[in-house]
Structure 1
């Protein structure tokens, strides 16, 4: 790599590091009053300045909720929602490009193990994975932007999906910020806006489940006797989503089960990619984590997914064979 290739990347890297350091040193000064005072002196260019600050803040790992709430307080529920959504999309897109431009080739040449499985899983799902991490507020927004830049996801698919999937959250946080400011100024009607925003945030958390219900994709249950029969006849794939300690613990595990803990499942989907057109049975201690894992597999294109009713607790109560610490048990686990 020659100087002409290295120099632009070095300058960009220095700029990103400088932005992160500046954000860390000035985090305490970035409050609503400071933003309001600064933007008030900019006149008609204040919205553009806010967009730029939001984008830089996203790159520098500043909390997105800070800007989302501030946007509602400073610009109102409508313009604030628009500015927050555009600012978040610009920031997410720039972070994506920075990661791809600065580190994409290096990562591609050196990835292995867990990171490689994550990248392969993301690339296999494409925009579906992007939509999932935007809709489900469990993934760190700023870090996810950079992580997705290390994959080969199409840039415009990433941008468009992010713009659409981030809209509900942007609107909810903006209206919450607007309601907070109005309530502080004595506007009683602001309580209604706050409740609406909280309701929208709750709806976002339930959105994946609501979509599945609208599409008629409820997961199916399977009992221990039926699963035992299938294991003898049909050659199904059993995925145990408990942690490794539980997998080898007192309840044991089904002999042919693959142990893919729920927290690691999104990045390890490639390990069961060959089972997309086969019957997949999800197992955990009871059946709560298994039911949650159905969302990931359904969104990943698995067509035939069932949950063992009652999980390993019921499997043991029914006296089915288990393995514990690599020692096979063929009788009831008592």
Structure 2
């Protein structure tokens, strides 16, 4: 029979889950009544406690899946670009932390027991990267912010790493949207200064929009040159050199490297089991140039492979390098 303490824990979890479901349900039903003007009145009436009230409202809104962008704009209009960014970031981080802890308390043990297959691979990949994964998804919003907070709570990420990485790497987006809210208030007030601030806000948003591409290029840019590849092949018996060209290209021109294993890019997704032994071992990807290798790197990382690198220039660069050595 389960102990009294275990039964009490189960009851607490069910009560918390019920409260969360009711809260989210009410937030969805009444989200159209969420009035930033009313929020501004609350903040004004709270006096010196206004910023704290705003941060708490932002945190609760994050837990209940209310739209954070509206609050971020309101923070800029209420407090200006500097303090507004600080309060917005504090509220978003506090809410993200609360959602993370709620998910961990409610279901992390169950997920730990039940996760298998692709779900387990993804979970292990996230845990292996740790704060770097948090940094990436905060800079490049691949998943809805509110949902991601709960999802990450189901992993074994360290809470402190999650919280610090969230705060730091949400900063660019928080500042851009806070400044947009501030610029909107100034534009309504009128004057040339308001127009200039509006243009600056648009420039900041453009920079934030470009940031995912820049970060993706940096993330995918974990490359190795031919000289490094040769050293790795000679010194690291655990290295897998994976050639992702088609089988015809692998056996034809421009040749192949003796130690390479060929799995065409088109078959990679369906052959993850063949590579399972290399999930946490070094893998070097090569193709004719490096375009297919980059696509393969994205697929492998998505499936939890943690040490993937792309050979810059591919077989063209390999042959060019060998040819220059032969002529010298």
* TM-score, normalised relative to structure 2: 0.73
| Residue 204 of structure 1, aligned match among 198, 207, 211 | 211
The residue that corresponds to 2:195 in the other structure is 188
Tell me by how many angstroms 1:207 deviates: 3.8
Where do 5+ consecutive residues of structure 2 fail to align?
Answer: 227-242, 317-328
Contact kept in structure 2, 1:238 and 1:282, CA below 8 Å: no
Aligned to 2:45: 41
Matched, 1:7 2:7: no
> Does residue 1:152 correspond to 2:152, yes or no?
no
Q: Bigger radius of gyration, 1 or 2?
A: 2
Aligned length: 285
1:57 maps to 61
Q: Distance in 2 between matches of 1:47 and 1:53?
A: 10
- Which whole-Å CA distance do the structure 2 matches of 1:5 and 1:239 have between them? 50
Give the aligned partner of residue 259 of structure 2.
234
Please state how far the C-alpha of 1:54 moved relative to its aligned partner: 0.9
The secondary structure found in structure 2 opposite 1:62 is coil
TM superposition shift of 1:94: 0.7
- Which position in structure 1 is the counterpart of 2:268? 258
1:131-170 mapped onto 2 (5 Å cutoff):
131-170=135-174
CA distance in 2, matches of 1:97, 1:44: 29
Structure 1's 303 and 150: CA in aligned 2 closer, same or farther, altered over 3 A?
same
| Secondary structure of residue in 2 paired with 1:279 | strand
Specify which of 286, 302, 307 is matched with residue 301 of structure 1: 307
Deviations 1:225-272 (A, max 9, x none): 9854665622246462xxxxxx4xxxxxxxxx42279xxx9xx9x947
Q: CA deviation at 1:20?
A: 0.5
Question: What SS class does the counterpart of residue 282 from structure 2 fall into?
Answer: coil
Q: Deviations over 1:6-54 (max 9, x none)?
A: 2322232222122212211221121322322232222221111111111
Q: CA deviation at 1:296?
A: 5.2
Q: Is the 8 A contact 2:223 2:309 kept in 1?
A: no
Alignment partners' CA distance in 2, 1:259 and 1:166: 32
Contact 2:285 2:293 in 1 (8 A): no
Deviations 1:288-328 (A, max 9, x none): 9728839958x943244457799xxxxxxxxxxxxxxxxxx
Among candidates 73, 88, 91, match of residue 92 of structure 2: 88
Contact 1:290 1:307 in 2 (8 A): no
What secondary structure does 1:189 align onto? helix
Q: For residues 142 and 43 of structure 2, what CA distance do their matches in structure 1 show? A: 32
Taking structure 1 as the reference length, the TM-score comes to: 0.72
Question: Aligned partners of 1:236 and 1:180: how far apart in 2?
Answer: 57
Q: Root-mean-square deviation (CA), in Å?
A: 3.7
**Separation in 1, partners of 2:249, 2:179:** 50
Structure 1 position 108, deviation (Å):
1.1
Q: Please list every run of 5 or more consecutive structure 1 residues that lacks an aligned counterpart in the other structure.
A: 241-246, 248-256, 311-334
State the distance in 2 between where 1:145 and 1:223 align: 35
- Matches of 1:97 and 1:283 in 2, distance apart? 47
> In the alignment, does 2:32 pair up with 1:25?
no
Distance (whole Å) between structure 1 residues aligned to residue 174 and residue 293 of structure 2? 30
Pair 1:278 & 2:288 matched: no
Match of 1:103 among 97, 101, 107: 107
- Normalized per residue, the structure richer in helix is 2
Does the Cα contact within 8 Å between 1:239 and 1:258 map onto a contact in 2?
yes
Q: Contact (CA 8 Å) 2:100, 2:150: kept in 1 or not? A: yes
